Structure formats: C-alpha cells, structure tokens
Chain A
Amino acid sequence: MTSLPQEETGPWRTLSRGAKAALLVLAVGITCRLLGAQFDWLVGWPDALTVPMTDWVGATVGWFLSVFKPLARAFSQLLSYPMEWVGAALRSAPWPLVVGAVTAIGWLIGGLRLAALGFFGLGFVVISGYWVEGMNTLALVTVSVPLAAFLGMAIGILAFEVPRLKGAVNGLLDVMQTVPAFAYLTPLIVLFGFGPVVGLIASAIYAAPPMARNVLLGLERVDEEIREAAVMSGGTRRQQLFLIEIPAASQQIMVGFNQCLMAALSMVIIAAVIGGFEDIGWEVLLTMRKAQFGPAFLAGSVIVVFAVVIDRMSAALAEQRVAQSKRVALAIFAVGAAVALWSVLANWNPSGVAMLDGLAQTVDTGVGTFTASNGATLDAVKNTSMFYGLLPLRIGLADAVLPFTWGFKWTAVHTMVFFAVAAVIGGGLALRGQVTAGVVVVIAALFLEIGVAQAPWPLVVIGAAALGWVASGWSLVRLVVVLLGLILLSGLWERALLSLYLSGASVAACAVVGGVLGFLSATSARVWAVVRPICDMLQTIPMFVFLIPVLMFFQIGEFSAFLAICMYAVVPMIRYTRQGLISTPEDMIEAATASGAGKWQTMFEVRAPYAAPTILLGLNQTILYAFAMLVIAALIGTTGLGQSIYLALGQADVGLGVTAGAAMAILALVADRLVQGFAEERRKALGL
C-alpha cells in the first residue's frame, strides 16, 4: 500500500522527494475519484473489515479497573488530605487576611504593581460574591499545579537525559494532552471514586505536558559553552543538571510553568462536571445550563483573576528584582489582619455580597439585545462562512454548490472546468520547475471537489503517509499507516474525518490569525498589553462560558463550533510566535544591526528563522488544543468523535469513550508528527 513506484526512468529520477510523493498521491486520488462510484470500498472503509474494537477496549479497561481500583482508591485518599487541608485553611481564613497576605506577597515580589494586582484581583473575588467557591477552586489548583509541574519536570528531564526515550515520551505527552478527559471520566470515577480528587487528577494529566515540553526544549537550548563550563568545573551529572543547566533554561521552563498553570485552571471545570464540592466550575455549569452569559462570565472571571494573579507573581519570581521593604509588607499584612479581626467580630462574610450581579445582568441583556438587533447581519456572516468556506470543505463543491447556496447547481461540466483550471495552474507551476507545488495544487482541488469528510480512505492514508515520507522517512510512514489503520479497523473512520475537517479548518484559521497577532505583539508592546490579558482569559476561563454568546449569535452548528475551537486554540500560536520572535539572542541582533540591517530586515532574516522552531512548537500546541476543544464543541452539537464521547458517557460505554478518545489522539498525533517532521527538516536546513 505504501510502496512507491521504483521506476528508474530519466525524468522520474530527477524529481524531488516531494514531487514523487505528490505524484503518487495524485494518482491514488484520481483513481479513487474515477472508480469510487463503481467500487464503494474505494471511498468508505467496508464494514466487514472493522473489528469490535470498542468491545475489546471496554473489556480490557474493565479488567484494568478491577485490578487497580484498590491502589487507585488509596492514592485518591492520599491526595484528598492535602486538598482538604488547603481547602479548610483557605475557607476558614477570614477573607481580609487572605487579601492582605496576597497583597503583601505581591509587594515583596514586585512592589506596588503586583501589590495592586493582588489587592484588586482578590477584591474582585470578594465583591463578586463567589469567595467560598473561589477558595474551593484555589484549593484544587494549589494541589494540582505542583503535582502537574513536578510530573512535567520529571518527564522533561527524563526525556532529556535518556534521548532514547524521547520519541516515546513525546507520544505519551500527546496522548495526555489530546485524549479528552470526558473520554475517560467514567473509568476515572470508578478507579478513584467520586469527588474533587478525580478532577484534580484529570487536570494534572492535562497540565503536565506543556511543562514537560518546555523543560525539554529549554534544556536542549542551553548554550554549549555553559554546558562545557559545567563539565569542566567538575561535579556530578546531577549537580550539573540542577545547578547549571536548569537555571540556565529557567526562562523557557517558566513559559512551561505558565502554560501548565493555565492548562490546570482551564480544566477546573472537569471537577465540577463530576461534582462533589461547590467550586466556581459548578457555578459556571449551573449558569451555562440556563444560557445566562453574564453570570457565567462573572463566575468564570474569578478563575481568570486567579490565573492572572498567580501567573504574574510567579513570572516576577523568576526575574531578577529589587528587594522591597519588608516593613511595608508587614504593614499591609497587619492591616489585613486587623480588618479580618473586625470581620470576624462583626460576623460579616462576603458570600452574600453580589455587587456585580447587576453588571452581570447588564452584560447578559446586552448579549440578548445585540442578538436581536443584529440578527440579520449575524445570519449573513454565518451563512457566508458556511456556504463558501466550511460546507465545501466538508462535503465538497459538488455537493455544497446548490441553487439556494451559490445560486446555481454544480454539474459535471463545472467539475470538468474546475479540474481543467486546476490542471492548467498546476501544469504552469510544473513547467516553471515547481513540480511539487503544481501537483499539490491539483491534489488540493481534488480534496475541495470531494470534501474532506467524504474523502476516500486510500487518499487520506496514502496522503498522510506521503507527507510523512517527505517530512521524515520510512519510520514515520510506518507510524502514520499503523495509527490511521487502527481508526479504520475500529469503524470510527467517518466520525474521525468529520473531526479532522473541523479541527483542520480551525487550525488553519488559527495559524494565520495567531501568527499575525503574535507578530504584532512581538513588534509592539502596546499591542501585547492588550493581547496578553485576552490570551490569559481565553485560556483559563471555562470555555463553556463562551459557548453561550456563540450559540446566541450563530445557533447550533458547525460554524459556532469552529469559532469556539478557534477562540481557544489560537492562544498558543500567539504566545509562541511572540516568544520566538523576541527571544533572539542579543548578539545575533547586534551583528545584524552592525551589518546595516533595518528593523524589518532583522525581523524577517534574523528573528524569524531563529524563532521558527518555537513558532512550530506553537503550531503543534494549537493543533493539540484544537483537538482538545472538539469535545467541548460537541456541546454545541457537532457530529464527529466529540459527540461519540458524550454518547459513550450517556451509555456508560467505556469502550466507545476510550476508543473515540484514542482516535482523536491519533489524529492529533499524526498531524503533530508531520508538523514536527517538517520542523526538524527546517531546523537542519537553517543549521540550528
């Protein structure tokens, strides 16, 4: 299936690797397109060749659960102690004491700026009326973030120290990040019992990978000179690692910690889906169920506030800073304690305060009014995007072009003309020497005419394998074919294609929008000042919150799901693009400036190439985030693998849930490996 033609004729040998692969894919595509009508098995994978994989997985998981349940319950018991302690401490501490303490810590770390951030941030939580719920959430995060960070650090160091394991570790990280928690929620509850600990574990599983990846990247990029100096000064390997290399990589590690924190906070909602204690996520779920955007947004904002406060303070900790007066900190704390004493004596607690409810109501009404007055515009936006973008991509021009969408009916003549134009463009490119580009144009036209969700399976599998061959070689081809073959055998292929189409469209949009925003943020501090809090918010607020306005504006359907996925997945693209562009070593920039390069020339010829690996890591994260969001998007009513996961949840079908989750992870993994393969090639080409 994957063997390439071995003809040794003249022109064939002169073709590049990419052109050969593209030609093969084109041949497969044309065959499928021409013969697909006669031979069904060329388009859809025959049912007879599927195996009852969901049953097998169900049985295996069932066996696993029965064996490991006692151990897991003990572990869960163990974790519940620190959580209860932290929770009890936070809940019973009078709120002014907590506000005072955080403000004082803010002062110690970053002076007036961070003190103000701590004070106003927690002040917001007090007046929102969600203090107790907020403290419960904080307790969850306080335990899960160190757990995730430790786990991530350990995995990252392991992968760095034992390069042999790097491939396997990367696979594990992808699985942790892409198999949605909803897919294994039922077995997780059976395993660890009911309650917040399950949410804690789910959030740690999800939050560890960004930490691990950044630790690895940071360690790999430590300067050779520093490394050599460490070796020369003697000391054991462990000393070199912990005293020299990790501190040298601290900037990248902090990026990882930041991402780890954000991911953990974004998963807080899972704890609420299970239930067991009243946290912010539970409030979000209640209001989400009533489609009240204002209150849901208010509750969600509490999580954002925590994220921003913790993030800014932890970031400042990593930087060099001037020592602040301890006396001021003590004074702030004393004021907090005094107010705390008063609040205890006066028996005043903030749970009844709901000063912002009016505002929340206004926001909610605003969304309603906006929908009412802009209904026609919103419908036009949605219909245009559907008719001319998403629909052709999903079911192909041949099916999407109809009298009531494009105004005419697509016929065989249109198909001929369409392919003729594609062939002319492709041929033109080929004649100018760009054979690969020319063939790719024709393949893209083929996909557009058939539609991603209806693409013949040989075309998808061989197409992905060919990309793998070009990007990396035969080992990647093997991986791609085996993994995609598993989806084919499981019988989930059609659903997988729907998911592929939706997340593919989102990733493409995110790459463009996120790349541009990241670039602007890197060039202008003012843009970053605006973009950064929005990124923080999008990444930490439970995404359920944004489903409401998206649904109000655009109703149930794929366009809403597309927007929801983009909102979440665009963030890493922005962050990593900016991080990559601004972290170019000073001496490289100085050298460029000295040789007379202007600002823009430096940007494109020095910064951009140096940033390429980081940007590609961002793209990788965007892909993984997009797949992770599929399951949330299913709450809007999409029909791919995400829906299967909810079906499985409703039917308590552990096998289906885990298999659908695994299929999702496989798609993400394949996409990720292909991107990484190209990234590696690029890195080598640039000599990095």
Chain B
Amino acid sequence: MKTLMKSGLSALALTAMASGAFAADLGATDEPIKLALNEWTGQHVTTRVAGEMLKAAGYEVEYVTAGMLNQFQAIADGDIHATLEIWSSNVSDQYAVLKDAGQLEELSDLGLNAREGIAYPAHVADLCPGLPAWEALQECAMNFATAETLPMGRLVDYPADWGTPGADRMAGLELPFKAIPAGSEGALIAELRASTEKKSPLLITFWQPHWAMSAYEVQFVDLPAGEDACFTDPAWGPNPNAINDCDFAASRIFKAGWPGLKDKWPAAHEILVNYTLAVEDQQPMMGAVDVSGEAVEDVVSAWMGANEDKWKSVVDAAIK
C-alpha cells in the first residue's frame, strides 16, 4: 500500500488497482521483458542475474540470443528490451548513433571493474626474464619474432574492429613489436591455447574478467599507469615524444535499454538502472560454467539463493 500512497493515486485509480494489483508501478507484467544474451559466458551470468531479479519482482522474462554487434538495432526497434554488459572497448559505433538519436537509452554502469592490458601466459616469463616489467620487452623482442614480423617481435592485438590499442602502446613506448590484429576473440583464445600447449612465446592484448585469465595463467605486463595526461600530452611518461606510452585507460562496462522500457515497465527500468555486479561475484560463476561445465541457470540460481543481500534491496526499492 505504501507504493500507492507514494504515487498519489486517486480513488478512481484505487478501485482499478484493487483488481489489477500494482499494475501502475510494475507495468505490463503479462508481457515478457526480453533480455539479450550475447556470445560470452560473463554476459550470460550478468543477464541471468538481472533476469532472476526481474522475475523476483513479478515480471515475465525472455532471454533472446543476439549478436553483440547486431543487437542495437533490435533494441531500438523494441524487439529486445535491454542488454546488460556493453564493453566500451568494443562497442560498435552504431550504439552511439542510435543513442544520440534517442532510440536507445543508456542505463548506467554495471559496476564490473574491467582491466585491459598487454599480457602473456605464465610460461613466457621464463622466455623473457625481467617480465612483468615492460622494459624487459625491449631486450627480448626477438624471442617473440615470427615469419610475418621479423625482425620485430609479434604482439597479437585485438581484432581490428575493436581498435588497435596494442599497436598504440608499442608505438608510444617505442617497443620493437609489430601488432598483428587477431580477427576474432576465438583467434585470441586459440593463440593463448596453442602457446600454452607448445610453451611458445606469446605477447597478447587481453582483458579481465575473462575465464582464460586463470585457465592459461595470463599475467599483465606492468606499464606506467594510464593517466589522462598520457593520452594527450607527449611529454608525459617514459617516452617524451609520444602519447600512449602507458597502460590502458580503465574501460567502462554499462547497460542499455529500449527507450520505451521506462513507460511500459517502470519498476523493471528502476531495477535495471540500479543493478550492479562485481567482478568477485561474476568471475567464480563464469568459472563454474566454463571450467566445471555447470549450467548457467543452476549457477546463477545458487548464487541468488546464497547472496540475497546483494540484490534483494534493489528489487525491494523498486516495487515497495
């Protein structure tokens, strides 16, 4: 009843409410809210936790598989209502276009602390003594050389459509490495796997949270901290003549939804805006799925049961 008071409804509406329960605040509970499932496990965990929260609030939820790059048009059209884990490092420009046109609504940060960097599987430390200090790479670049990159070392960079952060670092720090774009996430993982199997050298641009970080004991190279000045002021950092002579700037992970979400399902909109998930929570769930082979649904529902304090308050605040 507190909700009704807060929204200041008239007696007429009150009678309507008596039969329709909390319809005004929850919105169309008889229609499913469609959440996008993208191509990676972490996102499945993030999405299913949010979906369970919406169900706890009394909504119907439908999970729709959607390609990361192609989902934004679907959200603008209202075919999908929200997507919950967008990485600023590889979001398509279509997102910005649709957002600026008012066809997409950004729903605040997810709170997942991501880190990107130049990385290597554990065994590579033996092939290049001095790691993780970045200066060591200057000396042992030749150990990383291949047919395509000779006489420089080889750095496996992100797929070209995610940008060229690895190449930018190598140029900024004047390291003798040639950046080879990977083409896809699968190609990055295959490189990590092959390198671990063959105990061959590998320098790669990578990020966490990611299941492969622990599976292949990936470690980051220590680079000078990525402060704002590094990206604008050449004088900053170890190389006085170039920008980008530092680590990656922190990447942002956020949520977005269909603009009609707010009106059709007001409480759901509030839940999704306030929803956050920490790396410490997401990473073990990812491990349970990708390493132990459990089903995402089971892992998420076990976590929801054990960690009510982490999500219940968000749901309660929206519906009570």
Residue numbers of A with Cβ under 8 A of B are 185-186, 189-190, 193-195, 272-278, 282, 285-286, 288-291, 368-369, 371-372, 375, 382-383, 386-387, 391, 402, 404-405, 544, 547-548, 551-553, 555-558, 634-639, 643, 646-647, 649-653
**Which 5 A-B residue pairings sit nearest by Cβ, starting from the closest?**
A650-B161, A652-B94, A194-B74, A275-B66, A637-B183
| Option from B70, B93, B94, B150 in Cβ contact (under 8 Å) with A275 | B70
User: B183's contact among A386, A402, A556, by CB below 8 Å, is which?
Assistant: A556
Q: Assuming the A-B contacts A555-B194, A646-B160, are A289 and B185 also in contact, with contact meaning beta carbons closer than 8 angstroms in the complex?
A: yes
A189 and B73 in contact (CB under 8 A), knowing A195-B79, A404-B151, A555-B194? yes
Residues of A contacting B192 in the complex (Cβ-Cβ under 8 angstroms): 291
Q: Is the CB of B40 within 8 A of A650?
A: no
Cα of A391 to Cα of B147 in the assembled complex, Å = 9
List residues of chain B with CB within 8 A of the CB of A195: 74, 79
Q: Given A548-B190, A650-B90, A274 and B70 touching (CB < 8 A)?
A: yes
A286 touches B93 (CB 8 A): no
Min CB distance A637 to B, Å, is 4
**A289 touching B189 in the complex, CB below 8 Å, given contacts A189-B74, A637-B182:** yes
Q: Is B88 an interface residue (CB 8 A)?
A: no
A186 and B94 contact, Cβ closer than 8 Å, known pairs A193-B77, A195-B79? yes
Identify which of residues 62-114 in chain B touch chain A, using a CB-to-CB cut-off of 8 Å. 64-67, 69-71, 73-74, 77, 79-80, 90, 92-94, 97
Contact A556 B151 (CB under 8 A): no
Residues on B facing A (Cβ under 8 Å): 36-37, 39-40, 64-67, 69-71, 73-74, 77, 79-80, 90, 92-94, 97, 146-148, 150-151, 156, 159-162, 180-187, 189-194, 197-200, 211, 290
A153 CA to B64 CA, complexed, in Å: 35
Bound Cα distance A372, B197 (Å) = 5
A652 to B162, CA, bound (A): 12
Least Cβ distance of B1 to chain A in Å?
40
**Distance between B194 CB and nearest chain A CB, rounded to angstroms:** 5
- Asked, given contacts A275-B71, A547-B187, A650-B161, whether A556 binds B182 with beta carbons under 8 Å apart, the answer is yes
Whether A652 lies near B97 (C-beta < 8 A) is yes
CB distance from B184 to the nearest CB of A (A): 4
CA of A386 to CA of B187 in the docked complex: distance in angstroms? Answer: 20
Is the beta-carbon distance between B194 and A551 smaller than 8 angstroms? Answer: yes
Name the contact of B66 in the complex, choosing from A276, A372, A637 (C-beta under 8 A).
A276
Partner of A190, one of B73, B146, B160, B189: B73
**Cβ–Cβ < 8 Å partners of B211 in chain A:** 290
> How many angstroms between the C-alpha atoms of A314 and B198 in the bound complex?
46
A272 surroundings in chain B (CB, below 8 A): 65, 67
A368 touches which one: B150, B151, B197 (CB < 8 A)?
A: B197
5 contacts between A and B (CB under 8 A): A194-B79, A291-B186, A404-B150, A646-B160, A649-B69
Given contacts A273-B70, A637-B182, A652-B97, is CB(A278)–CB(B187) below 8 Å? no
Contact at A276–B65, with CB atoms within 8 Å?
yes
Chain B nearest CB: distance from A421 CB in Å? 26
CA distance A369 to B151 in the complex (A): 30
Given A547-B186, A646-B159, A387:B93 Cβ within 8 A: no
CA distance A323 to B280 in the complex (A): 66
On whether the beta carbons of B162 and A650 are closer than 8 Å, the reply is yes
Q: In the complex, A272→B151 CA distance in Å?
A: 41
CB distance from B175 to the nearest CB of A (A): 19
User: Is there an interface contact between A555 and B186, defined as CB atoms closer than 8 Å?
Assistant: no
Bound together, the chains give a CA A382 to CA B79 distance in angstroms of 46
Tell me if B93 and A652 are in contact (CB < 8 A).
yes
Q: A291-B193, A555-B194 are in contact. List 13 more A-B contacts (CB 8 A).
A: A194-B74, A289-B184, A383-B147, A386-B147, A547-B186, A551-B186, A556-B183, A557-B147, A635-B187, A637-B159, A643-B160, A647-B161, A649-B69
- CB of B93 within 8 A of CB of A643, answer no
